[in-house]
Amino acid sequence: MTPVTTDVAAPDTRRAGRYVYIAAVVLLCAWVLVPLYFLLINTLSSPETVNSFPKPFLPEFDLGSLGFFAGFAGILTALKNSILVAGLTMIMSILIGAPAGYALSRFDFRGKEAFRLLILLTRAFPLPLLALPLAVMFIQTGLDDTVFGLSLVHTTLAIPFAVLITFSLFSGIPLELEEAAWTLGCTRLTAFTKVVLPLILPGITASAIFAFVISWNEVFAAAVLTIENRTLTAFLLQNLDTSPLHLKFAGGFILVVPALIFIFAVRKYLFAMWGIANR
């Protein structure tokens, strides 16, 4: 008798389920978008408006706060450091991660599954635990307060994603394509450059951008391991603490926007990381 009762209840239940579903989607979107919107409004408002109440819901397009940052001492150096560290992280994580991804996808070896899990588990290890020993080690080796030293740490953070994304990219390319290229006059190298590379290039780019964003967003290691050569996040964290409210908003905005744009650009490939590539 159960099927009958569910049949009767079905349209109502389904409609109710739809409302819940829509409400959940709206809630989740608001959760992410509302703070971003307020950040935007406050960034583009004059200091008076930022400190007043109630707040307007439309931005005033006052570029005063942003303009202040352009002239803020040290911010350009910090920006340059951020880009350098993120760039290095991007290059190193792809150079190390892509071959690992290729090996995972093309070869069978003992402990392959354990290795995959282990790669992911490195992300579960809390960085604060590592910070002190790392700082001591970096001071001993002279890597402290250098762009290269910090990008090493960031590379460690980015590699798991680089490996998993490239693994799924390489797995998506049938070995037969490479073999066909070999029979058509290619060596292993030319088959890779003429067939595999063009096919995975968009994905590799995405994975590189993701590594860039990870480094760009990272603040803890950057704050602990650098003093003079601060990245933008560490620099702003240090300075905004004592800044007026409107500058805090503007600083936050500067940090959030590039990361958002990058992640939005590569979102398709981040799904690929879990093997649910939508192609």
Partner 1 sequence: MAEIQIKNVAKRFGSYQALHDINLTIQDQEFMVLLGASGCGKTTLLRIIAGLETATEGEVWIGGRRVDHLPPKDRGIAMVFQNYAVFPHLTVFENIGFGLRMQKLPNDEVKRRVERTAGLMHIDQLLGRYSGELSGGQRQRVAVARALAMEPDVILMDEPLSNLDALLRMEMRAELKGVLAESNTTAIYVTHDQVEAMSMADRISVMHQGKIVQAASPIEVYRNPAAEFVAGFIGNPPMNFLPATPAGDGKWTVAGQILDGPSRTTPLHFAIRPEDLRPADTGLAATVKVVEPLGAHLLVTCSVDGALFRAVLDSDLTVRRGDTLTLAPQPDRVRWFDPETTLAVA
Is the distance from CB of 144 to CB of 135 less than 8 angstroms?
yes
First to last CA, the chain: 43
Residue among 195, 209, 247, 250 that touches partner 1 (CB under 8 A): 195
> Cβ 251 to partner 1, closest distance in Å?
43
Site membership for partner 1, residue 25 (CB under 8 A): no
- Does 193 sit near partner 1 (CB under 8 A)? no
Considering only residues 187, 271, 274, 275, which one is a binding residue for partner 1 as defined by CB under 8 A?
Answer: 187
181 binds partner 1 (CB under 8 A): yes
Q: Give the one residue of 29, 30, 137, 199 binding partner 1; rule: CB under 8 A.
A: 199
Residue 41 CB-half CA count within 13 A: 17
Q: Does 198 bind partner 1 (CB under 8 A)?
A: yes
Please list, in sequence order, all residues whose beta carbon lies within 8 angstroms of the beta carbon of residue 183, skipping any fewer than 6 positions away: none
Q: In this structure, how many other beta carbons lie within 10 angstroms of the beta carbon of residue 79?
A: 15
Which member of 186, 237, 270, 277 binds partner 1 (CB under 8 A)?
186
Using CB under 8 A, pick the residue from 176, 189, 264, 278 that binds partner 1: 176
Taking the least distance from each CB to partner 1, the nearer of 183 and 278 is 183
Q: Token pair of 233, please?
A: 């996040």
Residue for token pair 């570029």: 63
Return the closest-CA partner of residue 44 out of 29, 33, 55, 32: 55
Q: Which of 38, 190, 227, 271 binds partner 1 (CB under 8 A)?
A: 190
Torsion of CA 65, 70, 75, 77, to 10 degrees: 170
Distance CA 19, CA 179 (A): 52
Residue 174 within binding range of partner 1, rule CB under 8 A = yes
- Residues within the interface to partner 1 (CB under 8 A): 174, 176-177, 179-187, 190, 195, 198-199
